[in-house]
Structure 1
Amino acid sequence: MHYKVLGKSDLQVSTVSFGCMSLPAANPAESIQLLNQAFTNGITYFDTADLYDKGENEKLVGQAFRENRQQVIIATKVGNQWRSDGSGWDWNPRKDYILKAVESSLQRLQTDYIDLYQLHGGTLDDPIDETIEAFERLQQQGKIRYYGISSIRPNVIREYVKRSNIVSVMMQYSLLDRRPEETVLDLLKESQIGVLARGSLAQGLLTGKPPKVYLNYSEKEVEKAAQAIQNLVKENLSPATMAVQYVLHPPAVVSAVLGIRTLPQLQEALHIPNAEALSENNIHFLQESIRPLLYEQHR
């Protein structure tokens, strides 16, 4: 496993990390065992959110790491408030809600601090300064070590870069979603803010699932991109390895956060960091296989 420092923090993050959202809650013992296997094999960063499974996902993470809490990096998210009747959730980035929600997350995670607390979205209509005040207060109180945002919106990201002390931005990024390459990756690199990439496999479309329309790509375009990935596969390497190596290529990207829910998925993820990095020629080959998308909104 390889590690990088996340932005201006002192968090040493594994270059492939564990996205916990898909962990099955029906068999908690199995999920906890999977989390511990990941940790034993070098994964240090585990990403969850209070939204996932109405907090049950945080509970799984908390149970898994209560004995070795200081050896793992636990990240969770806030901003989506469940309605009292459980019918759905509403966006709430207000200071009073964040200060209240963190207490519930700490309790579910069985910890007295969160390594990385992330705003789970964001718009320009939010009370951004108020949101930042909440994170800054929590940091001063020692309840969180660092904070970041999870967003794909360049206009929102720019505001947090200018106005806050975020150390990370989580965003969707893959060969089938190259929008971050337009401006955001360079901005975050210059600002020493680490990128946590999600969706690196594009819902499995880059790793063997039947092609379908994805974002603004046609089925034929998706198939062409998947074939380009396949053309780079070598002995003992999988399409997933190639797809993730593409995402890890930009200097701004610290880790690919992979959704893991089974042992075979974990085993495949663990092989990715040890593979040889893609050459510039290979990167260019992949980029030539499909037209880049540009942000049409939130620019």
Structure 2
Amino acid sequence: MTATAVPRRPLGDSGLWVSQIALGCSGFWGHRRFAEAEAERIVRHALERGVNLFDTGHNYSGFNAEPRLGRILQRAFAAHPRDGLVISSKAGTLTGQAGVSGAEQRDFSPDNIERSCAASLRNLQCDHLDIFQLHGIGVPQITDELLTALDRMRRNGMFRLLGINTHTAETMRFMADRPGAFQVALIDYNALQQDREPLIQAMHAAGIGVLAGTVLAQGHLLPARPRLPRLADAWYLARAWLKPSSRALMRSARAMQRAVATVHSQTPAQTAFAYVLQNPAIASGVLGTTRVANLEQILQTHVAALQPDERARLVAAFAPTGAAHAP
């Protein structure tokens, strides 16, 4: 029996429809120590199941994730044409290990942003990006000079939609208060970050397509399961300890883990995605993985299976802390 294609949702007011599960092409997936053949198996499985949104970044995985995704997609275009896909990348971060230590260097000067976008087009072997995101930009860095350059780049066909990948409430409010300036926001949102929800609604009301990253709270919503360790597991464990935002989530996760464990209709990972996707303002939840089985499990998430009383338990277990919910 053929598996049902992943449902699609509107991406804000952009006119694009995206799969409710997106594939995040970053982290250990893009690392040179992870075999490209295995990385390709994951992308092809996603394509076969109807995933059409692929998110990466120019600097991800030591600058290897973006060209890797480009090579894989080029090989896949015969069966999955480019015009059916939504390809997203980012610019502004100069260091190649974003997501590990959190100590990134950034440059949002117009010249650097345009050079980075041009490099992304070469790496991805595409004539345009569907979504071009400013990676971690702060409000003071969003200058008129930068916006003018971005408008020119868009008119020149380098990208279709402008977005910001941000984890700060100040930037989200800035976007919501300027309808039309930005079309996409990729933010951190999960059952441990329910305080994001008013900002998500405000951005959605402004016509912005909101994408949710860190849906599994960097793994902290999942029970620990004994298994043979892999190199990827060590990499993600190191990130969990080294990245400040991950340590904050770790400290606040225990009550939520217990609440998630009381939901028996689906696996904990599916419950985490169902919680996020029950928010009608979320266009897609982004998953990064190095296992086809993990991807397939999330693709089988039944959003409606999370019952109102079960969702209420997750809401009741939410206890915001200053460290875990940065302004």
Shorter-normalised TM-score: what interval?
0.7 to 0.9
The reply on whether 1:243 has 2:242 as its aligned counterpart is no
The reply on whether 1:227 has 2:258 as its aligned counterpart is yes
SS at match of 2:94: strand
Which residue is 2:230 aligned to? Answer: none
The Cα shift of 1:98 comes to 0.9
Alpha-carbon displacement from aligned partner over 1:252-288 (angstroms, at most 9, x marks no partner): 111110112111211112111x453423332222110
SS at match of 1:60: helix
Pairing 1:1-299 to 2, within 5 Å after superposition: 1-22=6-27, 23=29, 24-26=31-33, 27-66=35-74, 67=77, 68-82=81-95, 90-163=105-178, 165-181=181-197, 183-209=198-224, 216=248, 219=251, 222-234=253-265, 237-272=266-301, 274-293=302-321, 299=327
Q: Calculate the aligned-residue CA RMSD, in Å.
A: 2.4
Q: Distance in 1 between matches of 2:124 and 2:153?
A: 16
Number of residue pairs matched?
A: 289
Q: Distance in 2 between matches of 1:162 and 1:291?
A: 28
- Between 124-133 and 143-152, report the one with greater CA deviation: 124-133
Q: Which amino acid aligns with 1:244?
A: F
- Between 128-137 and 12-21, report the one with greater CA deviation: 128-137
| TM, length-normalised to structure 2 | 0.81
Cα gap change, 1:296 to 1:244, in 2 (>3 Å): closer
Cα gap change, 1:287 to 1:297, in 2 (>3 Å): closer
CA contact (8 A) 1:32 1:63 kept: no
- Between 286-295 and 185-194, report the one with greater CA deviation: 286-295
The Cα shift of 1:81 comes to 2.1
- Between 260-269 and 109-118, report the one with greater CA deviation: 260-269
Q: Distance in 2 between matches of 1:73 and 1:90?
A: 27
| TM, length-normalised to structure 1 | 0.88
The Cα shift of 1:9 comes to 1.1
Q: Distance in 2 between matches of 1:50 and 1:253?
A: 24
The Cα shift of 1:33 comes to 2.4
Cα gap change, 1:297 to 1:204, in 2 (>3 Å): closer
The Cα shift of 1:296 comes to 9.2
Q: Which amino acid aligns with 2:170?
A: N
Cα gap change, 1:191 to 1:150, in 2 (>3 Å): same
Q: For structure 1, which runs of at least 5 residues remain unmatched after alignment?
A: none
Cα gap change, 1:242 to 1:89, in 2 (>3 Å): closer
Q: Which amino acid aligns with 2:193?
A: D
CA contact (8 A) 2:36 2:68 kept: yes
CA contact (8 A) 2:92 2:136 kept: yes
SS at match of 2:171: helix
Cα gap change, 1:162 to 1:132, in 2 (>3 Å): farther
Alpha-carbon displacement from aligned partner over 1:196-254 (angstroms, at most 9, x marks no partner): 111111122211138x99655675x52221111110122xx211010111111222111
Cα gap change, 1:12 to 1:271, in 2 (>3 Å): same
SS at match of 1:254: strand
CA contact (8 A) 1:229 1:286 kept: yes
Q: Which amino acid aligns with 2:15?
A: D
Cα gap change, 1:283 to 1:275, in 2 (>3 Å): closer
Alpha-carbon displacement from aligned partner over 1:2-44 (angstroms, at most 9, x marks no partner): 1111111122111111011131433112212221111111111
